């Protein structure tokens, strides 16, 4: 592989993949932490936390997780706008064109993952803001 090809590959980066994976990890962490926090606020747990504290922690975790998901969406949209799609019907694309298509694909994956997980986070965190009864907020 030539030096020029290596520079092209290095310039592409892994930003959309990292943000898409990070969004999924943050979604899992928010759900797990919310379950743990609310479990300690409900009767029958080891320690009793006030329900208002548990709800505040869940909302804070949701806000942080939503910030990561929105960052993934913004980064993906910027990447999609900055790259041109490959012309239709081109049989032998160059390495730069192939890498650009890979970059557009990863940006699309980041956009879909960010949007889907942002909705999941919003609905998961919304229960803490709306439901005031302990057993139903899990």
Q: pLDDT tens across 117-130, in order?
A: 888 888 887 777 77
Count structural domains, the chain. Answer: 1
* Per-residue pLDDT tens digits for 76-132: 888 888 877 777 776 677 767 777 777 888 888 888 888 988 888 888 877 777 766
Place of tokens 């979604």: 27
User: Tokens in use for 110?
Assistant: 């980041």
d(CA 83, CA 102): 10
Q: Tell me whether residue 99 is in a domain.
A: no
Nearest to 135 by CA among 45, 71, 61: 45
Q: Tell me whether residue 2 is in a domain.
A: no
* Per-residue pLDDT tens digits for 35-75: 877 777 766 656 677 777 777 888 888 888 889 889 888 88
Q: Tell me whether residue 42 is in a domain.
A: yes
Q: Tell me whether residue 3 is in a domain.
A: no
Domain hosting residue 131, numbered range? 15-56+127-138
Q: Tell me whether residue 121 is in a domain.
A: no
């Amino acid at each position: 592989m030539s030096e020029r090809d290596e520079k092209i590959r290095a310039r592409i980066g892994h930003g959309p993949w990292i943000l898409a994976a990070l969004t999924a990890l943050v979604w899992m962490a928010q759900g797990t932490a919310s379950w743990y926090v609310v479990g300690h606020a409900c009767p029958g747990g080891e320690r009793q936390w006030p329900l208002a504290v548990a709800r505040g922690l869940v909302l804070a975790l949701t806000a942080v997780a939503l910030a990561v998901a929105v960052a993934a969406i913004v980064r993906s949209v910027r990447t999609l706008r900055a790259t041109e799609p490959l012309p239709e019907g081109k049989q032998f694309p160059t390495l730069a064109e192939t890498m650009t298509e890979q970059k557009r694909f990863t940006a699309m994956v980041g956009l879909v993952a960010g949007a889907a997980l942002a909705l999941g986070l919003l609905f998961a965190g919304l229960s803490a803001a709306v439901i005031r009864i302990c057993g139903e907020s899990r």
